[in-house]
Structure formats: structure tokens, C-alpha cells
């Protein structure tokens, strides 16, 4: 898209930087919130002006309503789910809008390398909580990828991309029909070769499968399935041709169950949440130089308390200046005067006694 910082879209969203292709950051001037906008290119049959006074054809309008409906029933109260703001059509683009707290996408973080297994378990626990809330509300996410996960400044993971995923699936259905080769071709062009987007089945079980793929991507830094192209990827998923989950360390048993071909054998979001909580409760203390991971608290180091050995006398503390401590006097100063006077009288008495003895 063309434009830059300061451009206003839909009379409401003010761009805050130069937009990327089909993606832009903006400020909602009604609420003052930062938002992320994702765009889909609409085909000509959706954007052609049918009537002079109807700039948005019925098909495009239907897409907007479908996206808005998904946003209205989503559990926006959940702390790990990014809130969808809405959708609109402008020109040849269908925009979806969601809140955007400060943070970085998981895809950006993984570009620097994989994350340790227990840190991946923390992030997965956050995402599983969001998926569970959606599933209990009767919704399927269908767009769980590294691009739609936001890692906030406090280390928490938040799941976004719900409205964008709904828009993609709705467009694929509108253009290609409910199934068949044409829908596959349209969806392949919209989604691309991203393993998490191609489960063999939909619904909550498909979300859990995508979670397993994403966890292995976090730990290894790569997809367990080949992503050279959509046909190759879909064939590998269908045939179960993937990198073994053993590379995930302590997360391997859970990942292995999440990516089973049979959806009935996969754990649901609630069971995954419990298993991750149990795994994290026994996590070792982090030793990374950049500090502990979120939710893993280091035990405080207790200072040793000095103890006095039994049967030994303690030495007096040294005086200031480094000299030895002065010994206390044996005779109190108050008695020195009387003792001196008494001593003089004793000496005089002895002298008189000696004179009398020798004179007699």
C-alpha cells in the first residue's frame, strides 16, 4: 500500500509509520489505542462498483460483516487474547484491525534463534489459555502462527490474528466455494506455505495441532514439515512426513500427541494447559545471563547466620585504631584514696612500735 505516517484510514486510524505491504501500525483516534492493521487484496469482482451510490459491493460488505461477527463473539476479556477492533474496506483492500500492545512478534524473536524448551512451554501455556477461551466460546482460531503471536514487554504471549484468519477463510470460501480444487488454490494464495495453517482437520482439534507445530518451531527454530511450497507441505502433512518431536526435549511427549493424525487422539486445550502447568512447576531454575524467564522465580539466597562454637570463649572486639583492647583495672579508682591513707597510718604505727621495742 502507498502512504506513510499521518495518513488516515476509514476516517479513524492514523498511521504511525511507513506501512509494510498489507500491514500497518496506527493509532485509533477514537480511543487513543495503538492498533495493528492487516490487509487482504480484494479481487476485482469484489471491488467493482455495481452502482454509483454503492461503493462497497455486496460481497465485500458480507466479508466485513462476517469478520465483525467473529470479533463480537470472541472472549475479549481474556488477558492472553488480543482484542479485534473491526474491519473495513478501503479501495481494493479489506483491512482487519486489532489492538497492539508494546512488544514483538514471535516471528521476530525466532529470527534470532530458537528458545529454550521451558521458555517455549511458558509461551505455549499463555497461548493455550487463549485457545481454550475461544473454544469454550464456540470459536476456532485457525490462524495460530509465529506472525500472529505477540510477546509483550513483560514476557507474556498474546494471541492475535483471529479477524485476519476469518477474513482469509471467508474469502477463500466466497471465491472458491465450500470445497474443491478452486478453494484450495485460493486459500494457498492467501495463506502460503505455513505449516500451522494446514491441519488435516479444522475446529479446536486443528488449533491444537497447530499449537504442536508451533511449539516444535519455537524449540528448534524451524518447521517440522517441509515448507518449500504449498503442494509439498500439504503432501507431507497428509503422509505424516515430519521431523520427530524428540528434538523438543521435555516437550516431546506433548508435541507428539498434539500432531497425531487422528484428531480424536489429540489432547484438548484444557488438558494441554494442565500438562504445561505440571511441566513448568518442575522446571529448573534458569541460569541464563540475561536473567530468569517470566514466571520462573529464583529462590532467594539466604545469608549465613554466624553461630558461636560451644565451649570456647569469645575474644574481645578490637578497639578503634587497630590497638589491643585495654584491660579493666583490678582496683576500682574510687578506693585508691582511702587505701593510700590507711597504708600511711599502718606504716606510722609500725614505726612507733619499733622505737618502743628498741628503747625498752
Contacts by residues 255-259 (CB-CB < 8 Å, ≥ 24 positions apart): 255/212, 255/215, 255/216, 257/212, 258/208, 258/209, 258/211, 258/212, 258/213, 258/215, 259/209, 259/212, 259/213, 259/216, 259/224
Position 68 pLDDT exceeds 50: yes
Q: How far apart are CA 242 and CA 4, in angstroms?
A: 42
- Is residue 125 within 8 A of residue 283, CB to CB? The reply is no
Position 302 pLDDT exceeds 60: no
State percent of the chain over pLDDT 90. 62
Q: Residue 78 is placed in which grid cell?
A: 481474556
Residue 4 has φ and ψ, to the nearest 5°, of -165, -165
- Residues near 183 by Cβ (< 8 Å), separated by ≥ 6? 172, 173, 175, 176, 177
Q: What DSSP letter does each residue of 98-160 carry, written as one string?
A: EE--SEEEHHHHHTT----HHHHHHHHHHHHHHHHHHHHTT------STTSEEEETTS-EEE-
Q: Residue 205 is placed in which grid cell?
A: 482439534
Q: Residue 283's CB: how many other CB atoms inside 10 A?
A: 17
Round the average pLDDT of the chain to a whole number and report it: 83
Q: Residue 252 is placed in which grid cell?
A: 516431546
How would you classify residue 97: left for phi > 0, otherwise alpha for psi between -120 and 50, otherwise beta?
beta
Interval 180-194: pLDDT, tens = 899 999 999 999 999
Q: Residue 305 is placed in which grid cell?
A: 547466620
**What is the pTM assigned to this prediction?**
0.76
Beta bridge partners of 23: 20, 38
Among the listed ranges 8-12, 254-258, 333-337, which one has the minimum average pLDDT value?
333-337
Cα 99 vs. chain centroid, distance in angstroms? 16
Query: What pLDDT is recorded for position 42?
Result: 87
Query: What pLDDT is recorded for position 53?
Result: 46
Helix, strand, or coil (residue 265): helix
Interval 195-236: pLDDT, tens = 999 999 999 999 999 999 999 999 999 999 999 999 999 999
* C-alpha radius of gyration, the chain, whole number: 39
Q: What DSSP letter does each residue of 176-210 carry, written as one string?
A: H-SSSHHHHHHHHHHH-S-GGG--SS-HHHHHHHH
What percent helix, strand, coil does the chain show, rounded to 5? Answer: 45, 15, 45
C-alpha pair distances (Å), 92 with each of 24, 46, 165, 311: 16, 8, 18, 91
Q: Return the closest-CA partner of residue 225 out of 250, 203, 197, 204.
A: 197
Q: Return the closest-CA partner of residue 185 out of 43, 57, 88, 89.
A: 43
Q: What DSSP letter does each residue of 240-263 carry, written as one string?
A: T----GGGGGGGHHHHHHHT-SSG
Is 8-281 in CATH node 3.40.50.720? Answer: no
Amino acid at each position: 500500500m502507498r502512504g506513510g505516517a499521518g495518513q488516515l484510514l476509514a476516517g479513524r486510524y492514523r498511521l504511525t509509520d511507513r506501512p509494510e505491504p498489507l500491514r500497518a501500525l496506527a493509532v485509533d483516534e477514537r480511543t487513543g489505542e495503538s492498533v495493528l492493521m492487516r490487509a487482504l487484496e480484494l479481487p476485482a469482482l469484489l471491488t467493482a462498483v455495481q452502482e454509483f451510490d454503492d461503493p462497497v459491493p455486496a460481497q465485500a460488505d458480507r466479508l466485513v460483516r462476517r469478520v465483525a461477527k467473529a470479533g463480537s463473539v470472541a472472549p475479549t476479556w481474556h488477558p492472553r487474547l488480543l482484542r479485534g477492533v473491526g474491519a473495513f474496506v478501503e479501495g481494493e483492500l479489506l483491512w482487519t484491525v486489532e489492538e497492539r500492545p508494546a512488544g514483538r512478534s514471535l516471528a521476530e524473536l525466532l529470527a534470532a534463534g530458537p528458545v529454550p524448551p521451558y521458555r517455549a512451554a511458558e509461551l505455549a501455556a499463555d497461548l493455550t489459555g487463549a485457545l481454550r477461551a475461544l473454544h469454550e466460546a464456540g470459536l476456532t482460531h485457525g490462524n495460530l502462527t509465529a506472525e500472529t503471536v505477540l510477546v509483550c514487554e513483560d514476557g507474556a504471549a498474546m494471541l492475535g490474528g483471529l479477524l485476519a484468519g476469518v477474513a482469509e477463510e471467508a474469502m477463500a470460501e466466497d471465491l472458491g466455494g465450500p470445497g474443491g480444487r478452486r478453494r484450495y488454490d485460493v486459500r494457498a494464495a492467501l495463506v502460503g506455505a505455513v505449516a500451522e495453517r494446514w491441519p488435516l482437520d479444522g475446529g479446536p482439534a486443528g488449533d491444537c495441532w497447530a499449537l504442536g507445530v508451533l511449539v516444535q518451531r519455537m524449540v528448534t527454530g524451524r518447521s517440522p514439515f517441509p515448507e518449500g511450497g504449498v503442494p509439498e507441505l500439504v503432501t507431507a502433512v497428509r503422509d505424516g512426513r515430519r521431523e520427530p518431536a524428540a528434538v523438543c526435549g521435555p516437550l516431546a511427549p506433548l508435541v507428539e500427541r498434539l500432531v497425531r493424525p487422528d484428531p480424536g487422539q489429540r489432547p484438548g486445550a484444557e488438558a494441554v494447559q494442565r500438562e504445561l502447568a505440571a511441566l513448568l512447576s518442575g522446571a529448573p531454575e534458569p541460569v541464563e545471563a540475561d536473567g530468569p524467564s517470566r514466571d520462573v522465580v529464583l529462590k532467594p539466597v539466604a545469608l549465613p547466620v554466624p553461630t558461636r562454637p560451644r565451649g570456647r570463649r569469645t575474644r574481645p572486639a578490637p578497639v578503634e585504631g587497630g590497638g589491643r583492647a585495654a584491660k579493666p583495672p583490678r582496683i576500682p579508682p574510687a578506693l585508691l584514696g582511702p587505701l593510700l591513707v590507711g597504708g600511711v597510718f599502718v606504716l606510722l604505727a609500725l614505726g612507733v612500735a619499733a622505737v618502743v621495742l628498741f628503747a625498752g
